[in-house]
Amino acid sequence: MTNQLDSFFGAMADPTRRAVIERLAAGPASVSELHAPHKMALPTFMRHLKVLEETGIVRSIKKGRVRTCHIEAAPLIEAQGWLAWQREIWESRLDRLEVLARQIAQQSEGENSDT
Protein backbone atom coordinates (compact mmCIF):
# COMPACT_ATOMS: atom_id res chain seq x y z
CA MET A 1 0.00 0.00 0.00
CA THR A 2 1.27 3.38 -1.03
CA ASN A 3 1.16 5.85 1.84
CA GLN A 4 0.47 6.13 5.55
CA LEU A 5 -3.28 6.35 5.21
CA ASP A 6 -3.51 3.29 2.97
CA SER A 7 -1.80 1.04 5.46
CA PHE A 8 -3.53 2.62 8.41
CA PHE A 9 -7.04 2.14 7.05
CA GLY A 10 -6.06 -1.30 5.81
CA ALA A 11 -4.96 -2.24 9.31
CA MET A 12 -8.13 -0.90 10.89
CA ALA A 13 -10.38 -2.76 8.46
CA ASP A 14 -10.06 -5.98 10.44
CA PRO A 15 -12.16 -6.54 13.56
CA THR A 16 -9.46 -8.55 15.32
CA ARG A 17 -6.96 -5.76 14.81
CA ARG A 18 -9.42 -3.08 15.94
CA ALA A 19 -10.11 -5.15 19.05
CA VAL A 20 -6.38 -5.20 19.76
CA ILE A 21 -6.26 -1.43 19.45
CA GLU A 22 -9.21 -1.09 21.79
CA ARG A 23 -7.49 -3.34 24.30
CA LEU A 24 -4.17 -1.53 24.01
CA ALA A 25 -5.80 1.83 24.45
CA ALA A 26 -6.43 0.75 28.02
CA GLY A 27 -2.74 0.02 28.53
CA PRO A 28 0.16 -2.17 27.29
CA ALA A 29 -0.09 -5.96 27.20
CA SER A 30 1.86 -9.08 26.27
CA VAL A 31 1.21 -11.07 23.10
CA SER A 32 -0.53 -13.87 25.03
CA GLU A 33 -2.70 -11.43 26.94
CA LEU A 34 -3.75 -9.82 23.68
CA HIS A 35 -4.31 -13.20 22.07
CA ALA A 36 -6.41 -14.70 24.90
CA PRO A 37 -9.86 -13.30 23.93
CA HIS A 38 -9.49 -14.37 20.28
CA LYS A 39 -10.15 -17.94 19.36
CA MET A 40 -7.81 -18.09 16.38
CA ALA A 41 -4.43 -19.86 16.45
CA LEU A 42 -1.51 -17.93 17.91
CA PRO A 43 0.51 -17.70 14.69
CA THR A 44 -2.53 -16.32 12.90
CA PHE A 45 -3.01 -13.77 15.62
CA MET A 46 0.67 -12.87 15.53
CA ARG A 47 0.33 -11.87 11.92
CA HIS A 48 -2.40 -9.40 12.84
CA LEU A 49 -0.04 -7.95 15.41
CA LYS A 50 2.67 -7.77 12.79
CA VAL A 51 0.41 -5.78 10.49
CA LEU A 52 -0.24 -3.32 13.31
CA GLU A 53 3.46 -2.99 14.01
CA GLU A 54 4.44 -2.55 10.38
CA THR A 55 1.84 0.18 10.08
CA GLY A 56 3.36 1.87 13.11
CA ILE A 57 0.15 1.72 15.10
CA VAL A 58 1.67 -0.61 17.66
CA ARG A 59 5.17 -0.86 19.13
CA SER A 60 6.61 -3.68 21.15
CA ILE A 61 9.65 -4.57 23.23
CA LYS A 62 10.72 -8.06 24.11
CA LYS A 63 12.04 -8.74 27.57
CA GLY A 64 13.03 -12.33 28.18
CA ARG A 65 10.46 -14.52 26.52
CA VAL A 66 7.68 -11.93 26.81
CA ARG A 67 6.90 -9.32 24.17
CA THR A 68 5.02 -6.32 25.49
CA CYS A 69 2.97 -4.20 23.08
CA HIS A 70 1.70 -0.65 23.33
CA ILE A 71 -0.05 1.87 21.13
CA GLU A 72 1.65 4.55 19.07
CA ALA A 73 -0.17 7.85 18.77
CA ALA A 74 0.85 9.36 15.43
CA PRO A 75 -0.98 7.21 12.85
CA LEU A 76 -4.34 7.42 14.61
CA ILE A 77 -4.01 11.17 14.84
CA GLU A 78 -3.13 11.47 11.18
CA ALA A 79 -6.13 9.42 10.09
CA GLN A 80 -8.45 11.32 12.33
CA GLY A 81 -7.07 14.49 10.82
CA TRP A 82 -7.76 13.29 7.30
CA LEU A 83 -11.35 12.44 8.15
CA ALA A 84 -11.86 15.75 9.91
CA TRP A 85 -10.45 17.55 6.90
CA GLN A 86 -12.75 15.77 4.45
CA ARG A 87 -15.67 16.40 6.70
CA GLU A 88 -14.93 20.08 6.93
CA ILE A 89 -14.82 20.45 3.19
CA TRP A 90 -18.04 18.66 2.43
CA GLU A 91 -19.96 19.82 5.46
CA SER A 92 -19.42 23.39 4.36
CA ARG A 93 -21.60 22.60 1.35
CA LEU A 94 -23.83 19.90 2.65
CA ASP A 95 -27.00 21.94 2.59
CA ARG A 96 -26.38 22.88 -1.02
CA LEU A 97 -25.87 19.21 -1.87
CA GLU A 98 -29.09 18.14 -0.22
CA VAL A 99 -30.99 20.64 -2.28
CA LEU A 100 -29.24 19.52 -5.43
CA ALA A 101 -29.87 15.86 -4.76
CA ARG A 102 -33.51 16.51 -4.13
CA GLN A 103 -33.79 18.43 -7.38
CA ILE A 104 -32.26 15.61 -9.37
CA ALA A 105 -34.47 13.07 -7.63
CA GLN A 106 -37.56 15.03 -8.55
CA GLN A 107 -36.52 15.52 -12.13
CA SER A 108 -36.15 11.78 -12.55
CA GLU A 109 -39.53 10.73 -11.28
CA GLY A 110 -39.86 7.08 -12.40
CA GLU A 111 -36.22 6.02 -12.44
CA ASN A 112 -33.75 3.72 -10.74
CA SER A 113 -31.55 5.41 -8.19
CA ASP A 114 -29.56 2.36 -7.13
CA THR A 115 -27.61 -0.62 -8.49
Partner DNA sequence: CCAAAAGTAAGCCAAATGGCTAACTTTCTT
Partner DNA sequence: AAGAAAGTTAGCCATTTGGCTTACTTTTGG
Residues binding a copy of itself (CB under 8 A)? 1-3, 5-6, 9-10, 12-15, 18, 21-22, 24-28, 53, 59-64, 68, 70-71, 73, 76-77, 79-80, 83-84, 86-87, 89-91, 93-94, 97, 100-101, 104-105, 107-108, 111-114
Interacting partner of 99 out of DNA, a copy of itself, none (Cβ under 5 to 8 A depending on kind): none
Q: Whole-angstrom Cα distance, residue 25 to residue 87?
A: 25
Identify the residue among 18, 62, 70, 87 touching DNA (CB under 7 A).
62
Alpha-helix residue ranges (DSSP H) falling in the chain: 4-12, 15-25, 31-35, 42-54, 73-91, 94-107
Q: Whole-angstrom Cα distance, residue 114 to residue 51?
A: 36
